[in-house]
Amino acid sequence: MPYNLKVVEGKFSEAREWLRREYGGLRTGRATPAILDGIMVSAYGSMTPLKQVANIGIEDARTLRVSAWDASIVKDIERAITAANLGLGTTADSSGLRVTFPELTAERREQLVKIAKHKLEEARTAVRIARDEAWKEIQAKEREGGLTEDDKFSLKEELQKKVDTANGELEKAFGKKEAEMQN
């Protein structure tokens, strides 16, 4: 068949990767360094990602250890984490910064599940848009004479199978994140 579905598969893969990154930034009851990925620290006269000025490790199930490579910017890191309004507690000590994750309330869990559902819907929308673009290209190719009608419909079936697979993977990621939030 002269139409290649690799482009649409790439777009589906991008949607899955985007959702994975977004879910990495959603706070659950457990300490995960990924929640601090988007934090920018005012260091050395410019805004710098936290990962570039400190090492982030897991101390225990509800505590992260942030070890600044330069002790003079610990206060800046503490200010940046507090300003990010993630609901995390910070305490500076001799070896860096301790970031604690308070216990999630039932109300906050519900909010986080709603946010996760919204992100899932955004990823599904990206999949639908990619599917629609591919279908339009297939139809245009058939009108130009580059595809037979049989090829068009077999491509449509194959495209729908790929959409179903992508949506299944997105649902699976949501289910996993929802289970994390309930624990």
pLDDT, tens digit (0-9, with 9 covering 90-100), for 65-99: 999 888 888 889 998 888 887 778 888 887 789 98
Q: Report the 10 Å Cβ neighbour count for 113.
A: 16
Residue 139 C-alpha from the chain's centroid: 33
- Using one digit for the tens of pLDDT, what is the confidence trace for 129-167? 999 999 999 999 888 888 888 988 999 999 999 999 999
Strand order through the sheet with 96-100: 54-60, 63-68, 96-100, 89-93
Tell me the pTM: 0.69
Residue 29, pLDDT score: 67
pLDDT for residue 115 is more than 80: yes
Residue 27, pLDDT score: 66
- The residue whose two tokens read 């598969």 is 9
**pLDDT: which is higher, 54 or 183:** 54
- Using one digit for the tens of pLDDT, what is the confidence trace for 30-47? 777 888 888 899 888 889
Contact partners, residue 79, CB within 8 Å, separation at least 6: 42
Torsional sign, CA 30, 31, 35, 37: negative
Domains of the chain: 6-24+105-182 (1.10.132.20), 33-100 (3.30.1360.40)
As a whole number of angstroms, the distance between CA 117 and CA 110 comes to: 11
Confidence of residue 28 (pLDDT cuts 50, 70, 90): low
pLDDT for residue 1 is more than 70: no
Helical residues (DSSP H) of the chain, grouped into ranges: 6-24, 74-83, 106-144, 149-182
